[in-house]
Structure 1
């Protein structure tokens, strides 16, 4: 869902972080250096080789990503994202896997899932006929639930920077047999989960129903090749459209807010399916979505937890890019107003966010550019030593937060629907 242009954030005055002999950047309060023995500090090329040659799945501690044309073809700034996940988590028995659809690739989806099974994938995925402006994104959506249902672990978008201590949070929630929590994600306004970060053990009942619903949506009308119009399906009756009062201006024409809501809801149709299952009470199936979510889902506030740079900059991608590209003041230099704002952004993310989602999809049509799109266009701009972007990059490789993020409590809401998941009352 597209957030409001502004969002109230409670700020606290923190002491100026101090430089350490063991790090080239100031270490903000609430963070610590990850012990060297818990890091994979090999060269990038060695990390890349490991990622491109994944071992067999032997546990649920998998970090799943998807890039249709393979890891080698990814943009460099997203490769840096993935390497950071590997460096910080591989020595805690996590395997980072970037699946693809490249013939002969050891990471091909078909090596992990039965791509011709209609109970796993719709025909359009199997036949490679997904069409439309966002076909690759839709293919990515379709691998998430099957991977989690079969193997468990974490599914994340390649544009997600991990900041907080994922292993510790996993061991405290989903990975702890004594914990009530079975799903880990970001809480989006209490009625949806952020599909760019989903975690569970295999055969999770929430994701199993979400998957069945998503397959049914793709299968309507004899089988669809795109998501256009899916939000109108009777299977989603009662689910509100995503978005707000946003318009899109393209080629001298303005697409009104009502149409943008439809575009967004079709684009993130997986989110619409999640919302329905979260709000469904199906007594015949023994499913009470609102109760399950309130008791079993650990949901981090998505705005504070994964969108904080956008909040600080009012969703101005150009401003975020320019601030993050600034160099930190050198010894003896006075911090400028812009440097102060950039420092507050980095400190804020490192102290208060569990991750940060670099956005690239339909949101570009609304805001014209994002930090992620500009990092893509300006090769290497996210990795210039001495800049605020590099400070953030460095932290995602070598530091961790002292505390775990709090979960937002899901209220037990009135059901969106009472009846069968795939139709009828």
Structure 2
């Protein structure tokens, strides 16, 4: 595989090196093959400025408005400047692909004096939006940054609408097109886009990607429940033990294939998602809320395994194996493909042609499975972006290519409720 520097190749489409687009490229791109089901994004639809220029735009985004919903929110407690290089690449790829379609990208933080501090977007002193621990700056536990992030995403979406996605999320499919055909279309029945964790008859939306219009009724109720858990017993400082709240009786603990101890810890870790699951399965006649019917009619849910975790089917959730395979170099011209290279190629081609996104796992999951691809890319700086490797092929494709089709929506049916009665009444 040879590196092409003149002319520069962008997603397989040659652009003369003398053109403005080519001149701003900071790295030569590789002529990787485009898998079936994908196509190169036209250069005029991409922001092809240098990384430094993209970073400057991210640091100085357009002012936000409640009248405009094409917003993408990320969160990093200490700010974009201090994000790891591989997650910066995730955010830049979103910017390059979406900015020209009118999307505003905000990397929200909690940095004193920063224009991107959450205090400049929502009222963090409002007890109906944030728990006492957040207001007092006392959120603790092993995963305080993650839980701080959990607490900002619904208030942002409820006020402004748009998309909240984790910094570990790599986008493959056409996000703007899906938005325009669903939430951006006033005639569409869909209010939410997310990934469903587990079988189709289970309601568990992945909190690493939420899209909604403002004032979403499901998020409103789930957030009320989340706040009640945080404010219980005079105010919690972490999510430890929240799974045992009598407000949460109904849904099974998260991660049924694990031991009970791990299920409890995993549910505490993803307590936001657990609150959403209960609200999705709640029928509250006093409030006029029918969660099972709402979900069947108004959620565009994508299967999470194929949609965002397909690599796990190839590596059996073995992060070290995923890292090893994607770190391999492609065969040189005239060189035979090894068995490992074949498997790495199949992973890349499958993800690019079948997955709508690629979620890098971190947090508590590392304690359960050991190192993940994301944690290893963090430990080995730059390993996700070595030219000529399968990781680099995947990376470049996610910036310069997209899929021909949109992801299939799961056909949610009306399920038996998990709970009947008021949301905040113990059962």
Shift of 1:300: 0.3
Unpaired segments ≥5 residues, structure 1: 1-18, 247-256
Any conservation in 2 of the 1:54–1:106 contact (CA below 8 Å)?
no
Q: How does 1:134-149 map to 2 (within 5 A)?
A: 134-149=143-158
- Does 2:131 correspond to 1:122? yes
Deviates more, 1:235-244 or 1:98-107: 235-244
Identify the residue that residue 79 of structure 1 maps to in structure 2.
88
The 1:21/1:141 distance shift into structure 2, 3 A limit, reads: closer
Deviation by residue 1:241-276 (Cα, 9 ceiling, x = unmatched): 011333xxxxxxxxxx11100000000000110110
Any conservation in 1 of the 2:247–2:426 contact (CA below 8 Å)?
no
Unpaired segments ≥5 residues, structure 2: 1-10, 15-29
The TM-score, its normalising length taken from structure 1, stands at 0.92
Identify the residue that residue 51 of structure 1 maps to in structure 2.
58
Identify the residue that residue 329 of structure 2 maps to in structure 1.
327
Q: How does 1:35-50 map to 2 (within 5 A)?
A: 35-50=42-57
The 1:43/1:134 distance shift into structure 2, 3 A limit, reads: same
Q: How does 1:270-281 map to 2 (within 5 A)?
A: 270-281=272-283
Q: How does 1:239-250 map to 2 (within 5 A)?
A: 239-246=251-258
Identify the residue that residue 316 of structure 2 maps to in structure 1.
314
- Does 2:177 correspond to 1:168? yes
The 1:41/1:194 distance shift into structure 2, 3 A limit, reads: same
Identify the residue that residue 193 of structure 1 maps to in structure 2.
205
- Does 2:115 correspond to 1:106? yes
Any conservation in 1 of the 2:281–2:418 contact (CA below 8 Å)?
yes
Identify the residue that residue 215 of structure 1 maps to in structure 2.
227
Identify the residue that residue 252 of structure 1 maps to in structure 2.
none
Deviation by residue 1:356-410 (Cα, 9 ceiling, x = unmatched): 1101111101111000000000000000011100001001110010000001111
The 1:134/1:285 distance shift into structure 2, 3 A limit, reads: same
Identify the residue that residue 367 of structure 1 maps to in structure 2.
369
Shift of 1:126: 1.4
Deviation by residue 1:205-228 (Cα, 9 ceiling, x = unmatched): 111111111111111111111000
Any conservation in 1 of the 2:12–2:40 contact (CA below 8 Å)?
no
The 1:354/1:377 distance shift into structure 2, 3 A limit, reads: same
Any conservation in 2 of the 1:186–1:194 contact (CA below 8 Å)?
yes
Identify the residue that residue 61 of structure 1 maps to in structure 2.
70
Q: How does 1:405-420 map to 2 (within 5 A)?
A: 405-420=407-422
Deviation by residue 1:185-219 (Cα, 9 ceiling, x = unmatched): 00122311000000001001111111111111111
Distance (Å, rounded) in 2 between the aligned partners of 1:20 and 1:198: 32
**Helix, strand or coil: the match of 2:33?**
strand
Find the partner of 2:159 among 135, 147, 150. Answer: 150
Identify the residue that residue 26 of structure 2 maps to in structure 1.
none
Identify the residue that residue 12 of structure 1 maps to in structure 2.
none
Identify the residue that residue 17 of structure 2 maps to in structure 1.
none
Distance (Å, rounded) in 1 between the aligned partners of 2:227 and 2:273: 13
Identify the residue that residue 204 of structure 1 maps to in structure 2.
216
Distance (Å, rounded) in 2 between the aligned partners of 1:95 and 1:214: 28
Distance (Å, rounded) in 1 between the aligned partners of 2:105 and 2:13: 31
**Helix, strand or coil: the match of 1:146?**
helix
The 1:105/1:29 distance shift into structure 2, 3 A limit, reads: same
Any conservation in 1 of the 2:311–2:347 contact (CA below 8 Å)?
yes
**Helix, strand or coil: the match of 2:423?**
coil
Find the partner of 1:25 among 32, 42, 46. Answer: 32
Any conservation in 1 of the 2:173–2:403 contact (CA below 8 Å)?
yes
The TM-score, its normalising length taken from structure 2, stands at 0.91
Shift of 1:284: 1.1
Identify the residue that residue 290 of structure 2 maps to in structure 1.
288
Identify the residue that residue 353 of structure 1 maps to in structure 2.
355
Identify the residue that residue 270 of structure 2 maps to in structure 1.
268
Identify the residue that residue 133 of structure 1 maps to in structure 2.
142
Identify the residue that residue 9 of structure 1 maps to in structure 2.
none
Q: CA RMSD in A?
A: 1.1
Distance (Å, rounded) in 1 between the aligned partners of 2:369 and 2:219: 31
Distance (Å, rounded) in 1 between the aligned partners of 2:411 and 2:229: 30
Identify the residue that residue 7 of structure 2 maps to in structure 1.
none
Any conservation in 1 of the 2:239–2:269 contact (CA below 8 Å)?
yes
Shift of 1:110: 0.2
Shift of 1:235: 1.0
Identify the residue that residue 250 of structure 1 maps to in structure 2.
none
Shift of 1:138: 0.4
Identify the residue that residue 20 of structure 2 maps to in structure 1.
none
Any conservation in 1 of the 2:13–2:40 contact (CA below 8 Å)?
no
Deviation by residue 1:168-199 (Cα, 9 ceiling, x = unmatched): 00111111111111100001223110000000
